[in-house]
Structure 1
Amino acid sequence: MNRLKDATSPYLLQHADNPVDWFEWGEEAFAEARRRDVPLLISVGYSACHWCHVMAHESFEDEATAAMMNERFVNVKVDREERPDVDAVYMAATQAMTGQGGWPMTVFATPEGHPFYTGTYFPRPHFHRLLAGVSNAWTGDRDGVLEQGSKIVEALNERTALPSGPLPTAGTLAQAVESLSRSFDAERGGFGEAPKFPPSMALEFLLRYGAAAELRPASGGREPRADGGPRTGEEPRTDAAPAMSMAERTLEAMARGGIYDQLAGGFARYSVDADWVVPHFEKMLYDNALLLRVYTHWWRSTGSVLARRVALETADWLLAEMRTPEGGFASALDADSEGVEGRFYVWTPEEIRDVLGEEDGAWAIDLFEVTGTFEHGSSVLQLLSDPDDAERFARVRAALLAARAQRVRPGRDDKVVAAWNGLAVAALAETGALFDRPDLVEAARGAATLLDELHLDGDRLLRTSRDGRAGDNAGVLEDYADLAEGLLSLYGVTGEVRWFDRAGALLETVLDRFADGSGGFFDTADDAERLFQRPQDPTDNATPSGQFAAAGALLSYAALTGSARHREAAEAALGTVTVLAGKHARFAGWGLAVAQAAVSGPVEVAVVGAPGDPATSALHRAALLSPAPGLVVALGEPGSAEVPLLEGRGLVEGVPAAYVCRGFACRMPVTTPAALRAELTS
């Protein structure tokens, strides 16, 4: 009997009609394996995973394969996005046993959950042989299988945590820039060889490093400086120039390549080639939330016209394609439509001519590099240079977008994940404030409200919801940390104290239930389900590691409150960055970004004035436009004491005022945006 029909996960529901007798992860499956005295076959994936679909079609929908699975195993299907803890411990085993990982992940385990054979995607003939071999080993060499499982668990549990060093210094950060430069692809942008993933967290660090050095790039194809002043043309400081160069080259290459949807906005998961041309077409909320924030920060630092366009297009895509009826944001769009990867996105020259006619068609074919970059004569659209006719481009783009809308759309995984929505809240709030788009701020507020009202259960956070119904999966560290980060950003933009208070409560749970006693954090709470290993990975993956995300939120909260406890916890969690900076900086991007904020202060700005007062709004905007690393902004009326940074701050001769501080030591208040900009750059 397939037990997935009542699942909340869209990924599990994709398998609800399989002839496989799937169980969801839980004690029922373990008890059944013990009762039948057979191994567990644990299959882990996610809804937008192309090779998960391939294995499903080849094996899990096949009656003969399903019969073999049902006869010899208890089969468990896991959505890695709902259960990142389960995914983490079995991925560690898979990587230890095979030297690589990926999804779908296929794990054979004892009824106690101890893995003894692992892999990823298996073609059906290989999978048949594997099922028979594992089953025969279980019945014919039980002691050997059990010993193998015990040894794997013992080895994984004996792994020592990544060592921690002292708080990173300016020298550590310079060392990290040098480390990144060694793997930087100067010709094509990005780091390393194909496949290339958007290095969102490393880019945020590089932008912060440049801002800390008071980088002011020369003008040229740029808007006026974000703070309203003219571009001076002065050269950047030499120690920051490589950092900004790596960031800008990568950001431009991604924005102009096929990994970016040139018609609707938004980024695909990664590029299969080194030139950012052919993407793996799935679109993930976390990638786009992180990149939206990075492109917004690029504009804030440099005034780049391209950065502004990509940020706003990506924000609009998030609202149009990913927002759920309840106000949250869906997890992903599939790579496939009609069973074919990328079919929704690619074009042949004939298809473009059919939509646009010969003259506009020829122009668009040349502009978008429609030269057979994908399969069967089709192409992914690129925009390697800006069009020479903006009005014509807008008309052509709109026509192609309308034609594409008639195609069968990729499936959407519409579950709401707390961590990734926290990333979206931060990005949309800041983008809306900087580009004067109140609709984006309102979207951030709507997502935060959903998470507050549906995902929070007392001091506990639930990881997922769908269709307005919360799941029963406990939040992991990244959920608490990323949501706290998002709520603090939303507070800084809106001045609404409820978000500051909620962030503080989340961080209390982080400190109380996730700390490892040595300055780091476990990825699961102390009362979470016990797996064969308690997961703890301080390094970044596709998203900031929970530990580095917690460090960032703790640092911001400390800057708003003056709390030594939160500051010290943030600094302790950053000790791992010092170890990684020299050789493995790519895996510590968010930690490096937070460390840059810690080294720089961060700068604290208290803006005091009546809500809606134009003078208050002007000061508030000037503060938000500062690229100072990790800057926090408190906004409130005179006499407000709900946020400690505002306590004791008042108007100056009846006029709204701004106070620039570091470590709660403040300079004299200023009353004009120009004076505030001068304070922030002094």
Structure 2
Amino acid sequence: MGSNTHTSSGERKLNRLTNSKSPYLLQHAENPVDWYEWGQEAFDVAKRENKPIFLSVGYSACHWCHVLAHESFEDEITAKIMNEHYVNIKVDREERPDVDRLYMTFLQATTGGGGWPMSVWLTPDLHPFFAGTYFPPGQFRQVLLKLAEVWSGDPGRCVEVGKSVIEQLRAASNISSSSSIPDISAVATSIYRRLEKRYDSRYGGFSGAPKFPQPSQTTHFLARYAALNMHDTAKRKEAEVARDMAVDTMIKIYNGGIRDVVGGGFSRYSVDERWHVPHFEKMLYDEGQLLSSAIELSQLLPQTALERTILQMMAADIVSYVARNLRSPEGGFYSAEDADSLPSSDSTVKKEGAFYVWTAQLLDELLGEDAEAFKYHFGVEENGNCDPSHDVQGELRGQNVLYMAHTSEETAKKFGRSVEKIEQLLKRSLVKLKEYRDKERPRPHLDDKILTCWNGLMISGLSKASEALDESINLSPNPLQLAEESAAFIRQKSYDESSGELRRSYREGPGPTGQADDYAFLIQGLLDLYEASGKEEYVSWAIRLQEKQDELFWDCEGSGYFSSAPDPHILVRMKDPQDGAEPSAQSVSFYNLQRLSHFAEDRHAAYQEKARGILEADAQVLGQAPYALATMVGGMLAAEKGLKQLVVTEPSAAEAAPFLKVIRSRFIPHRVLIHLDPAHPPRKLAKENATLRALIVDVEKNVDGKAARPSVRICENFTCGLPIEDVAEVEKVLAA
């Protein structure tokens, strides 16, 4: 394998990472550090040479990962220390979340914080004994030398510490299940009240700086709390407040600098409390979750509400961005765009946000007489609008992050023009800026690996968008086509039809084995896609994937799902029910099982048993810190309400359209939408669903000798009401 010594001419040889498929690992292929990938080769060298392991975990769009790399991993002196004293392993956290999860738990337990880059020192047996995140270059060298000295002088001490840590983590992950599941109403109310208390009424969101959207912990839950309590007289006021907090937060995000005003899409978070200065990386999982939240919340608002229009625009913005910039030619969605980029084509040093920011002078040059109104509307200042306290490295000095500082009405009043004229001015100005940016500025680095789990989240968002986006919003390709092509890509490239197993990622070939979130998020996406498309192949695939998830991840000795696939080098198989930047696989699986027990109702008892097992496994956390499991609690609320099967008889698309439009016009978290085309009944799904089998028999008997009429049957507790053939009556029943 390649080393990092220099040739006689001084030309550096590439290290082992040059053979990797991960964009993050490839970013380090020219480091003078003698990197290994996570695997047996590295572990064998560590044991043979009795060296500790330095484990570096990050991802390709991570700004501070780049900083650490430039300051330390590209430095010859630092690399020499690393190569002499350690076996150095580089891990892409997005490809190996199991490795990341285990050692991040250690980092958080020992330092009280976490984040990336993550730096962990391990014994040759993979037991951690020290960890941190980003270290400045001088401090990093000191830590490297000190820990090398400790290992050399007393390796036994490090081994004992490491073993003790792993045993503690193993004990913590084996918390006994409890059949005493907390009262769902009390648990949900406690989350609502916590969010209400933490709500920032001025800027939106539920924390101070830095501010993350975190849909899984906030807007996702609040939408469900609102929808499921809106018709309860005692809870209606809380439901309205929950809805309004979530809607206001999403609109503040949309109007803030966290949105790329020029090119669409949303950054991962803002470094300030008002959503202004972003950390500029764009992640697919954020786009997918924000898309779902924007659609769901818009469905909770009246058709005429201005806020609904803004949320619909937000959804369209996300769809356009991912279709244009994160979509592979074959239909799968890429993972991320970097925070850093070159300011111009002749630049050699990347800067954070360089692709996105503007000086007032450049805007004057590009926009001419339109510049003043544009700058006023988007909060541009002559000397830049980025607070120096939020610009640690000084890369944004003199620059402006565009955000909606004033409404169109305010701008029109300021410049004595009509709102229509101002909106035309803003539109043409944004087109000019995009043309300039696309021509003159290199795009940020694209992480072009295609992750199964994040594509699942995007399939969900796109499916919901295809159902609920206003007809006036005409997107090409349309959201349903994008969702179906993403699902087709995953099935073709990252799925083994014979074994039923998923791969985690795809880039120039399949990547590592799939993890629990790959199954959970894709199953959720496929159920959403079935409801949007009516194609039973998606629900059939979801049923098979659930079987495989149960086989690979279910804890047969306890209950609940392990987060990681079996792997002898993962010393503790952990269960992580807590939501973070993404919802937990455990929580998504809980609601998948609820939905599947109504799609494939013949398996109802088995699915419900596993769903209850998840709650029993997480009963302690649900009782003590339910806000950490907000996604699960949202699913519990829907399950307690009782899922409704809405069986739509669809003789033709045109005849079914009015009924589907009524169903899809409102957010119904406990909905299970089943499509029944009399000409092509869903026979595969009917094999799993007694109710559907009976309905197909009724349709095919054709008792009255007439063609089947479009209708909706509402089934609860596996008992169906009579078919409703009047659209207004369907609307009345659903509104009750």
Alignment of 1:273-422 (within 5 A): 273-302=272-301, 303=303, 304-338=308-342, 339-357=350-368, 359-371=369-381, 372-374=384-386, 375-387=396-408, 388=419, 389-406=422-439, 407-422=441-456
> Which residue number in structure 2 is paired with residue 205 of structure 1?
221
Partner AA of 1:376 in structure 2:
R
The alpha-carbon deviation at position 656 of structure 1 amounts to 1.6
Alignment of 1:173-252 (within 5 A): 173-201=188-216, 202-214=218-230, 237-252=236-251
Is 1:657 the counterpart of 2:699? The answer is: no
Distance change >3 Å, CA 656–CA 535, structure 1 → 2: same
The alpha-carbon deviation at position 513 of structure 1 amounts to 2.4
Q: Decide whether the 8 Å contact of 1:167 with 1:572 is kept in 2.
A: no
The alpha-carbon deviation at position 356 of structure 1 amounts to 0.5
Identity of aligned residues (%): 37
Is 1:506 the counterpart of 2:521? The answer is: no
CA distance in 2, matches of 1:598, 1:332: 34
Residue 485 of structure 1 aligns to a residue whose secondary structure is: helix
CA distance in 2, matches of 1:386, 1:662: 46
Of stretches 311-320 and 504-513 in structure 1, the one that deviates more from structure 2 is 504-513
Is 1:171 the counterpart of 2:199? The answer is: no
Partner AA of 1:373 in structure 2:
N
After superposition, the C-alpha distances for 1:150-205 in whole angstroms (9 at most, x for unaligned) are: 22112222215566552652333222211221222222211122111102122111
> Which residue number in structure 2 is paired with residue 270 of structure 1?
269
CA distance in 2, matches of 1:250, 1:579: 30
Q: Decide whether the 8 Å contact of 1:258 with 1:380 is kept in 2.
A: yes
Partner AA of 2:81 in structure 1:
M
The alpha-carbon deviation at position 603 of structure 1 amounts to 2.1
Give the CA RMSD over aligned residues.
Answer: 2.1
Q: Decide whether the 8 Å contact of 1:176 with 1:582 is kept in 2.
A: no
The alpha-carbon deviation at position 49 of structure 1 amounts to 0.3
Alignment of 1:459-474 (within 5 A): 459-467=500-508, 469-471=509-511, 473-474=512-513
Residue 43 of structure 1 aligns to a residue whose secondary structure is: strand
The alpha-carbon deviation at position 132 of structure 1 amounts to 1.0
> Which residue number in structure 1 is paired with residue 535 of structure 2?
496
After superposition, the C-alpha distances for 1:29-81 in whole angstroms (9 at most, x for unaligned) are: 00011111111111000000001000111111111111111111111000000
Is 1:134 the counterpart of 2:147? The answer is: yes
Residue 345 of structure 1 aligns to a residue whose secondary structure is: coil
CA distance in 2, matches of 1:613, 1:408: 45
Partner AA of 1:680 in structure 2:
L
Partner AA of 1:383 in structure 2:
M
The alpha-carbon deviation at position 270 of structure 1 amounts to 0.8
Ranges in structure 2 where 5+ consecutive residues have no aligned partner: 4-14, 343-349, 387-395, 409-418
Q: Decide whether the 8 Å contact of 1:167 with 1:574 is kept in 2.
A: no
Residue 87 of structure 1 aligns to a residue whose secondary structure is: helix
Q: Please, which of 611, 616, 636 is the counterpart of residue 676 of structure 2?
A: 636
Is 1:570 the counterpart of 2:611? The answer is: yes
Distance change >3 Å, CA 160–CA 475, structure 1 → 2: closer
Q: Please, which of 72, 76, 93 is the counterpart of residue 59 of structure 1?
A: 72
The alpha-carbon deviation at position 630 of structure 1 amounts to 3.3
Alignment of 1:668-679 (within 5 A): 668-679=722-733
CA distance in 1, matches of 2:327, 2:48: 44
Alignment of 1:496-575 (within 5 A): 496-517=535-556, 518-525=558-565, 527-562=566-601, 563-575=604-616
Q: Decide whether the 8 Å contact of 1:82 with 1:463 is kept in 2.
A: yes
What is the number of equivalent residue pairs in this alignment? Answer: 660
Distance change >3 Å, CA 594–CA 385, structure 1 → 2: farther
Of stretches 596-605 and 316-325 in structure 1, the one that deviates more from structure 2 is 596-605
TM-score, structure 1 normalization: 0.93
Q: Decide whether the 8 Å contact of 1:43 with 1:106 is kept in 2.
A: yes
Distance change >3 Å, CA 585–CA 630, structure 1 → 2: same
Partner AA of 1:95 in structure 2:
Q
Q: Decide whether the 8 Å contact of 1:58 with 1:124 is kept in 2.
A: yes
Distance change >3 Å, CA 589–CA 386, structure 1 → 2: farther
> Which residue number in structure 2 is paired with residue 261 of structure 1?
260
> Which residue number in structure 2 is paired with residue 224 of structure 1?
none
Q: Decide whether the 8 Å contact of 1:4 with 1:16 is kept in 2.
A: yes
Alignment of 1:605-624 (within 5 A): 605-610=646-651, 612-624=652-664
Distance change >3 Å, CA 508–CA 167, structure 1 → 2: farther
Q: Decide whether the 8 Å contact of 2:184 with 2:633 is kept in 1.
A: no
> Which residue number in structure 2 is paired with residue 426 of structure 1?
460
Q: Decide whether the 8 Å contact of 1:607 with 1:657 is kept in 2.
A: yes
CA distance in 1, matches of 2:406, 2:718: 47
Residue 18 of structure 2 aligns to a residue whose secondary structure is: coil
After superposition, the C-alpha distances for 1:371-395 in whole angstroms (9 at most, x for unaligned) are: 3332312121111443233222211
The alpha-carbon deviation at position 585 of structure 1 amounts to 4.5
The alpha-carbon deviation at position 347 of structure 1 amounts to 1.2
Which structure has the larger Rg over C-alpha atoms?
2
Residue 449 of structure 1 aligns to a residue whose secondary structure is: helix
CA distance in 2, matches of 1:261, 1:195: 18
Distance change >3 Å, CA 588–CA 636, structure 1 → 2: same
CA distance in 1, matches of 2:552, 2:634: 25
Partner AA of 1:660 in structure 2:
I
Q: Decide whether the 8 Å contact of 2:32 with 2:74 is kept in 1.
A: yes
Of stretches 404-413 and 666-675 in structure 1, the one that deviates more from structure 2 is 666-675
Q: Decide whether the 8 Å contact of 2:378 with 2:406 is kept in 1.
A: no
Distance change >3 Å, CA 356–CA 575, structure 1 → 2: farther
CA distance in 2, matches of 1:269, 1:524: 25
After superposition, the C-alpha distances for 1:187-231 in whole angstroms (9 at most, x for unaligned) are: 221112211110212211111211123379xxxxxxxxxxxxxxx
Q: Decide whether the 8 Å contact of 2:22 with 2:92 is kept in 1.
A: yes
The alpha-carbon deviation at position 679 of structure 1 amounts to 2.1
Q: Decide whether the 8 Å contact of 1:608 with 1:646 is kept in 2.
A: no
Q: Decide whether the 8 Å contact of 1:176 with 1:581 is kept in 2.
A: no
Q: Decide whether the 8 Å contact of 2:214 with 2:580 is kept in 1.
A: no
> Which residue number in structure 2 is paired with residue 448 of structure 1?
487
Of stretches 555-564 and 509-518 in structure 1, the one that deviates more from structure 2 is 509-518
The alpha-carbon deviation at position 492 of structure 1 amounts to 0.8
Q: Please, which of 115, 120, 130 is the counterpart of residue 102 of structure 1?
A: 115
Q: Decide whether the 8 Å contact of 2:536 with 2:682 is kept in 1.
A: no
Of stretches 338-347 and 600-609 in structure 1, the one that deviates more from structure 2 is 600-609
Residue 289 of structure 2 aligns to a residue whose secondary structure is: helix
Of stretches 326-335 and 573-582 in structure 1, the one that deviates more from structure 2 is 573-582
Is 1:588 the counterpart of 2:629? The answer is: yes
> Which residue number in structure 2 is paired with residue 600 of structure 1?
641
Distance change >3 Å, CA 268–CA 586, structure 1 → 2: farther
Distance change >3 Å, CA 440–CA 7, structure 1 → 2: same
